[in-house]
């Protein structure tokens, strides 16, 4: 099928694997692509495969991939009809979307108004409540006297959470299990918040027991057609960032899936959402679900939905933005099999997940049936500290969850990234964990089971020792053999030249 109105040329305002993903979708559809890049990315894969490239110069994000005037000017100069923002950077920046609209360049995503609304967590929640989408019961009002707060707390029920409005990092946060402890908890949260943030305003929220992060993929065209493409289970997170995503979720029943899917569609319709988006829910231990927020972009983890539904989300983004109608009907969609995504990060899991930088001396991704690699890396590439440490995504697909976990472990075991520390061995341990295998995952999973995880210090296995010795034996020249004595001019080995094996001679 041909798309008559599809764009001729678009600019991709991003880098790394997502820029590569979008450029490849464009290539399939016959759309010319313009890549932008900062100085440190001049050899990056997205630059190599694009039709046109423009240098942004200074690699600091604010001067490059976040620089709206620079990017808008480039888009105009090269004659791009649309801009795809990818994820991160400017993807959820309403000013950027508006700047595009202002000069008649199509922003591939929802309208600036919708981005703005969803960026305001409280306004979004109110909007969702009005659309009958369940939200976490709570009080975010201005009445901060103890009596009002206690009354609101009773309405919410227990356990509940007292949260500092200005909070972060658990400061000024209290879990309250019963009414008689409410007043003292409010007071101590206020005190803590006052001293930590200089503001003692608190919120009250229902405390979610065994919370899971489950999100629904949405596609909506510009004619009011909206569908969901089922869920993604994203509970396995570290420092609030997802590391393993899967679909279907091991706990969702067909009934719950339908209810949550309908709620996600209702949420999107309530704000007049267009293009691809994601409605995030919190699901508690009793399978109650609550709206958390809506991500107005293509998600990092979109490939698992593509694997299980057969729908190409990146292409649909382009089609919808160019004015095509959404021809997929909800009833035509089904989930088939199971998909997992692992995010490969340049970070050290045994050292607080700190990012690691350096030169990738070797990159060799694993390949095989139903293994998908979305990457933006190559052997010889320098990993800098300018951008996100996510190197690549590894996605596997199998008939069922148990088989797929095995496939992913296989794929990770054959995934070679040398030169910087990665989280690959950590990912394998998570997948191998008995609770993960049972599907018992919550957003506390990593903290519960891997808090002080370090790579098992079992030393070098004999195979590594043999490999090194053979390698050094093949590659050594006489100079190197005497390496450890070379600073010593009196070394007998200097005079000998080469090591003698099995010789009788004694000096």
Partner 1 sequence: MFINYEHENHVYNVTIERKENFFFVTYNNTEYKVEAEELKPGQLKFKVGDRVVKSIITEGDKEKYVFVDGAVFKVKPVELTGFKKKKKKEMGDLSSPISGKVVSIKVKNGDSVKKGAVLLVIEAMKMEYLIRAPYSGKIKKINFKENEQIEIGQVTLEMSKKGG
- Cα–Cα dist 66/498, whole Å: 58
Residue 164 in the binding site for partner 1 (CB under 8 A): no
Pick from 413, 435, 444, 494: which binds partner 1 (CB under 8 A)?
413
Residue 242 CB neighbour total at 10 angstroms = 20
Pick from 95, 471, 494, 497: which binds partner 1 (CB under 8 A)?
471
- Which residues, in sequence order, are bridge partners of residue 358? 383
Span near partner 1 by CB under 8 A; candidates 238-246, 270-278, 314-322, 484-492:
484-492
Span near partner 1 by CB under 8 A; candidates 257-265, 381-389, 396-404, 459-467:
459-467
Residue 354 in the binding site for partner 1 (CB under 8 A): no
**Distant-in-sequence, close-in-space partners of 206: CB < 8 Å, separation ≥ 6:** 136, 137, 138, 156, 157, 159, 160, 161
Looking only at the bridges linking them, the beta strands covering 52-57 and 32-38 are: parallel
CB of 504 to partner 1, least distance (A): 9
* Phi, psi (rounded to 5 degrees) for 182: -65, -50
Pick from 250, 425, 433, 440: which binds partner 1 (CB under 8 A)?
425
Residue 503 in the binding site for partner 1 (CB under 8 A): yes
Residue 349 DSSP label: G
Site string for partner 1, 360-399 (x = CB under 8 A): -xx-x-----------------------------------
| Helices vs. strands in the chain: H and E counts, helices first | 18, 23
Pick from 1, 4, 62, 462: which binds partner 1 (CB under 8 A)?
462
Residue 335 in the binding site for partner 1 (CB under 8 A): no
The answer to whether 494 and 482 have CB atoms below 8 angstroms apart is yes
Residue 357 in the binding site for partner 1 (CB under 8 A): no
Residue 130 in the binding site for partner 1 (CB under 8 A): no
- Cα–Cα dist 304/44, whole Å: 25
Pick from 419, 431, 436, 442: which binds partner 1 (CB under 8 A)?
419
Residue 468 in the binding site for partner 1 (CB under 8 A): yes
Span near partner 1 by CB under 8 A; candidates 64-72, 81-89, 329-337, 421-429:
421-429
Residue 69 in the binding site for partner 1 (CB under 8 A): no
Residue 477 in the binding site for partner 1 (CB under 8 A): no
Residue 486 in the binding site for partner 1 (CB under 8 A): yes
Residue 483 in the binding site for partner 1 (CB under 8 A): yes
The answer to whether 97 and 108 have CB atoms below 8 angstroms apart is no
CA 203 to chain centre: 28
- Please count the residues of this chain forming the interface with partner 1, following the rule CB under 8 A: 51
Output 333 or 416, the one with its CB closest to partner 1. 416
Span near partner 1 by CB under 8 A; candidates 86-94, 134-142, 393-401, 487-495:
487-495
Residues between 101 and 120 that touch partner 1 (CB under 8 A) = none
Q: Which long-range contacts (CB under 8 A, 24 or more apart) does 403-412 make?
A: 403/338, 404/246, 404/337, 404/338, 404/339, 404/340, 405/340, 405/431, 405/436, 405/437, 407/370, 407/371, 408/340, 408/342, 410/366, 410/368, 411/366, 411/368, 411/371, 412/342, 412/366
**Distant-in-sequence, close-in-space partners of 495: CB < 8 Å, separation ≥ 6:** 507
Q: Which long-range contacts (CB under 8 A, 24 or more apart) does 31-39 make?
A: 31/6, 31/7, 31/318, 32/8, 33/9, 34/9, 34/10, 34/74, 34/75, 34/78, 34/80, 36/11, 36/12, 36/64, 36/65, 36/71, 36/74, 37/64, 38/63, 38/64, 38/65, 38/386
Assess whether 401 carries a catalytic annotation.
no
Pick from 417, 431, 441, 446: which binds partner 1 (CB under 8 A)?
417
CB of 480 to partner 1, least distance (A): 9
Active-site entry in 21, 174, 212, 297 = 297
The answer to whether 310 and 318 have CB atoms below 8 angstroms apart is no
Span near partner 1 by CB under 8 A; candidates 53-61, 152-160, 321-329, 452-460:
452-460
Give me the count of residues in the chain: 507
Residue 487 in the binding site for partner 1 (CB under 8 A): yes
Output 6 or 365, the one with its CB closest to partner 1. 365
Residue 121 in the binding site for partner 1 (CB under 8 A): no
For residue 356, what is the enclosing H or E element? Answer: none
CB of 379 to partner 1, least distance (A): 8
Does the bond joining 248 to the residue before it have cis omega, within 30 degrees of 0? yes
Contacting residues toward partner 1, per CB under 8 A: 358-359, 361-362, 364, 412-414, 416-419, 421-422, 424-425, 428, 457, 459-474, 476, 481, 483-488, 490, 492, 499-503, 506-507
The catalytic residue positions are 297
């Amino acid at each position: 099928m041909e798309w008559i109105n599809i764009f001729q040329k678009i600019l991709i305002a991003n880098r790394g694997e997502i820029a590569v993903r979008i450029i490849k979708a464009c290539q399939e559809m016959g759309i010319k692509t313009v890549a932008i890049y900062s100085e440190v990315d001049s050899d990056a894969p997205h630059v190599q495969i694009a039709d046109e490239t423009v240098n942004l110069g200074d690699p600091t994000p604010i001067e490059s991939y976040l620089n709206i005037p620079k990017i808008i000017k480039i888009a105009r100069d090269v004659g791009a009809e649309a801009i795809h923002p990818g994820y991160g950077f400017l993807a959820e920046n309403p000013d950027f979307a508006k700047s595009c609209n202002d000069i008649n360049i199509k922003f591939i995503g929802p309208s600036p108004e919708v981005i703005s609304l969803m960026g305001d967590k409280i306004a979004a929640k109110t909007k969702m409540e009005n659309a009958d989408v369940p939200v976490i019961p709570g009080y975010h009002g201005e009445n901060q006297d103890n009596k009002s707060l206690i009354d609101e707390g009773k309405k919410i029920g227990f356990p509940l959470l007292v949260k500092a409005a200005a909070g972060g990092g658990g400061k000024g946060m209290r879990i309250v299990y019963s009414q008689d402890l409410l007043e003292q908890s409010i007071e101590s949260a206020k005190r803590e918040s006052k001293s930590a943030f200089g503001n003692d305003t608190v919120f009250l929220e229902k405390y979610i027991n065994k919370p899971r992060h489950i999100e629904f993929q949405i596609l909506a065209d510009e004619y009011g057609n909206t569908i969901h493409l089922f869920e993604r289970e994203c509970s396995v997170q570290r420092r609030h960032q997802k590391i393993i995503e899967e679909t279907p979720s091991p706990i969702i029943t067909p009934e719950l899936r339908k209810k949550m899917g309908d709620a996600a569609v209702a949420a999107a319709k309530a704000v007049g959402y267009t293009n691809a988006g994601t409605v995030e829910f919190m699901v508690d231990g009793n399978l109650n679900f609550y709206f958390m927020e809506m991500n107005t972009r293509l998600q990092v983890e979109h490939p698992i939905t593509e694997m299980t539904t057969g729908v190409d989300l990146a292409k649909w983004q382009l089609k919808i933005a160019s004015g095509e109608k959404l021809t997929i009907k909800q009833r035509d969609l089904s989930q088939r099999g199971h998909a997992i995504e692992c995010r490969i990060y340049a970070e050290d899991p045994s050292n607080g997940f700190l990012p690691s930088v350096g030169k990738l001396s070797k990159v060799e991704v694993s390949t095989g049936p139903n293994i998908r690699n979305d990457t933006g890396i190559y052997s010889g590439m320098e990993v800098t500290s300018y951008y996100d440490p996510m190197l690549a995504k590894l996605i596997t697909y199998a008939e069922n969850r148990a088989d797929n976990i095995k496939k992913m472990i296989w794929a990770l075991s054959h995934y070679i990234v040398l030169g910087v520390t990665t989280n690959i061995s950590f990912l394998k341990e998570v997948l191998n964990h008995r609770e993960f295998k049972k599907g018992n995952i919550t957003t506390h999973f990593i903290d519960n089971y891997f808090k002080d995880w370090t790579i098992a210090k079992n030393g070098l296995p004999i195979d590594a020792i043999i490999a090194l010795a053979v390698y050094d034996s093949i590659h050594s020249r006489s100079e190197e053999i005497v390496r450890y004595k070379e600073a010593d001019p009196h070394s007998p080995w200097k005079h000998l030249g080469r090591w003698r094996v099995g010789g009788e001679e004694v000096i």
